[in-house]
Each structure stands twice: as C-alpha cells, then as structure tokens.
Amino acid sequence: MKKLEELSQKRKASHTKLISMKSKVYEKFIEMEQATYTDGHLPKGIKELIAVGISVSINCESCMQWHIEQAAKAGHTQEQVLEAIEVGIEMSGGPGTVAARFALDVIEDVFKK
C-alpha cells in the first residue's frame, strides 16, 4: 500500500533528521522506547499488542503501522493483532472503529492474506 510505504519513509526520515540534529528530547524518547519494549514481567510482544490497542484508541496511524509490524515480528498472529485492535475499539468507542479501518489495512499488508 502506498500510504503505508509513505508513513514508513516519513518515520525513518524524521528519525534520521532528529538524530542528526542531536535532539536531546528525541534521544531520551528513544531510550524510553527501548526500555519500554524489552522483555520484563510482560514479554515484548505482549507490550506491542497493548500498543496496538492504544494506537487504535488514539488514532495514530504511524503508531498502528509500527506496532502491528513489531507484534508480527515478535511472532504474534493476525488473529492476536485483531484482538488487540478490538480492545482499542472497545476502549475508545465509536471513534475507535474509524481508526481500526487503517489498522485493518496494515494487517492485510503485514500478513499478506
């Protein structure tokens, strides 16, 4: 999907730019992200599924794409990702169903079904 490719390219470009500009805040954000998505009492993959649900709830398309991809890389199935999306729908009510449409496109792209 063209939109998904564009989101990935923009995310990578922004990441590279912020790193090259030596953004102290972004550097700390990356550290926080790395600390968050390491195995702890919850495995990384479960944390990614939680992030999928939150991403749907806040309607962050780039977040949905990233965390669905990361959940798949962590070994989660399309069905597990769908359940995380459903949690996001329930937690946000009606607006979550609108955001979930994008997440469904990402599932289709990631799992190629």
Structural domains in the chain, sorted by start: 2-111 (1.20.1290.10)
Low-confidence ranges of the chain (pLDDT < 70): 113
**What is the pLDDT, as a whole number, of residue 56?**
95
Q: Which residues of 44-76 are buried (b: 16+ CB within 10 A; e: fewer)?
A: bbbbbbbbbbbbbbebbbebbbbbbbbbbebeb
Tell me what pLDDT residue 96 has.
85
pLDDT at 113: 64
Distance of CA 112 to CAs 72, 77, 103, Å? 12, 12, 14
CA dihedral (94, 97, 98, 99) positive or negative: positive
Amino acid at 80: Q
